[in-house]
Amino acid sequence: MPANKLIIMSRRALTLLLAGFLVLALGVVGAFRPVPYVVLSPGPTENTIGEVDKKPVISIKGHETYPTAGALSLVTVAYQGGPAAQIDLLTALRGWIDPTVAVVPQETIFAPDRDPKEVEQENSVEMTNSQDSATAAALNELKIPYGMTVSVVAAEKGKPAEGKLQKGDVINSVDGKPAGNVDIVSDTVKSHKAGENVVFNITRGKEKLDVTLQTVAGTEGQSVVGVTMTGAYKFPFDVDINVGDVGGPSAGLMFSLGILDKLTPGELTGGKKIAGTGTINPAGEVGPIGGIAQKMVGAKDSGATVFLTPADNCAEAMKAVPDGLRLVKADTLHNAVLALDALRTGKGSVPACAAG
């Protein structure tokens, strides 16, 4: 073969080799470039009738409690990524292959205009509110009365409350009606026509005062006085919940069940390992949550055989339920208790999730 042809072939081989090396190099570099996605995976579970770091998850003081057994576990979702620590393409690709995790756009977890620290703080507040709502729901289920304190957060500038109501004032009553919650106070003010007087009885420090304000028309046509309020529960005994760094409202149902189990004789679980999820409000209504697929995997990995599922998540859960995990539909705290009673005793029906 002529020398010039060998040279041409050698050049072509070298060119192909260099091109292949360049593609490989670019692929390697690209695989480690950050991408705006978040990987969601099964997080840790915590037994609400058990302990965390040698401390009870739920501590109750001032009321008789009873022994418990088994597990009523809350489930969580762990995430990897976010604006402050973006994952690389390789991590995202591994997530897309793994059926136990989900890879979602970063903005679904972190809104573009939100500081990640602000999101974490919000999750912490939601967890605190969830614990209060869970306690209220449990006490409502047991018909144990409790109260609520309504206090002033701020008085709006230019409105009747300015200079007359102060931050920290506790509102005892409005027009003689006990201030049971923020809605009662707000609705009482709205019941007046603009220009009418409304009388607030407040506690400021150690002094009780009557403050008369003249209502004005708000932006939606309803009467207002320009006060921002917040409510705090007044429970008849102390309920303290310790879950470490877990945030968000999705453990509400399991907190309520854990409180109920400790406040009532017998074992709600029948000694079984039960997990579940769902938000809850004081009326005991169970709301939907996110990450149901990952939470079910976490439940199964923890040894749970029954998973309490919010009714609105049932259809989604049926598509990804792990083998050996029984889905029980939970729309209210009361119905969840009835379902657990039926599971424990073998008497009565157990509401099951159905595919949508």
Three-state DSSP state, 339: helix
| Residue 212 exposed, middle or buried by CB count within 10 Å (0-12, 13-18, 19+) | exposed
Instruction: Please list the active-site residues.
Output: 250, 295
Nearest to 159 by CA among 217, 211, 202: 217
Residues 350 and 329: beta-carbon distance below 8 Å: no
* β-sheet bridge partners, residue 227: 155
What is the residue type of 242? N
3-state helix, strand, coil in the chain (%, to 5): 35, 30, 35
227-234/223-224 β-pairing:
unpaired
Phi, psi of 71 (to 5 degrees): -145, 140
Question: Could you tell me which residues come within 8 angstroms of residue 311 by beta carbon, excluding any fewer than 6 positions away?
Answer: 286, 329, 330, 331
| Residue 356 DSSP one-character state | -
Nearest to 297 by CA among 317, 311, 315: 317
